[in-house]
Structure 1
Amino acid sequence: MPIMTVLATTAVPDHVRGALTRWMIEPTPGLYVGTLSARVREELWSVVTASIGPGAAVLLHPAPTEQGFTLHTAGERRRPPVDFDGLTLIAFRPDEDPDEDPDDDGQENVGLY
């Protein structure tokens, strides 16, 4: 049974975008929406993950979970999904490690405002 699927991409090769637009519409650059069967969704996702390169992608589709959907990611992301007692939450990984700051003298910067 076909179900609504959302796929968001960032910096993926043009041939991946072309493959996605054969099955889904692209309302804004990098965002694909379509009604796909599970088999087509899995095949498209395997194409995306195999060709992701330096880009990133997120796939969302309905599932029998507490949230009502499931989330898959591919590529390097600053916000990786984390399972927390059956709920998918998004963690935030900063760009830089604060311990490696050359200007850091080990003291908190507290100012009076």
Structure 2
Amino acid sequence: MGKRRMRAKLPKIPDEVVFLEILPRLPVKALSRFKCVCKLWHATISDPKFRFSDQRQRVVFLSHPNTLRSKDDNNSFCELRSPWKEKALVRLLGSCNGLLLMSRASSVYLWNPDD
């Protein structure tokens, strides 16, 4: 007779822990992939209120006229890759929910440094 393998039963993580503590801490790219897990995850991640539930506060500052730095999760500073190929004077006008409003020359840009 063949032996039956016993599967270890994993404990279920409550939905509220997943939706309030775990998913909001993930990068946007990962969240977009997790929409296919189930209908509930898709609906929750697609809800506009969910996107703004991220509690992380990202510190971004200009260390030189054209260099942006950010404090990462390890509390150390890292240089952000500029969306522009050439160096130019950049002003940080403001930020909201991880998006940066910046001006360069006579133009204004909205930039998501996580993408």
Same fold (TM over 0.5): no
| Larger-Rg structure | 2
Bigger RCO (CA 8 Å, 6+ sep):
1
Q: What is the TM-score with the length of structure 2 in the denominator?
A: 0.20
Q: What is the TM-score with the length of structure 1 in the denominator?
A: 0.20
Q: Which has the higher strand share?
A: 1
Q: Which has the higher helix share?
A: 2
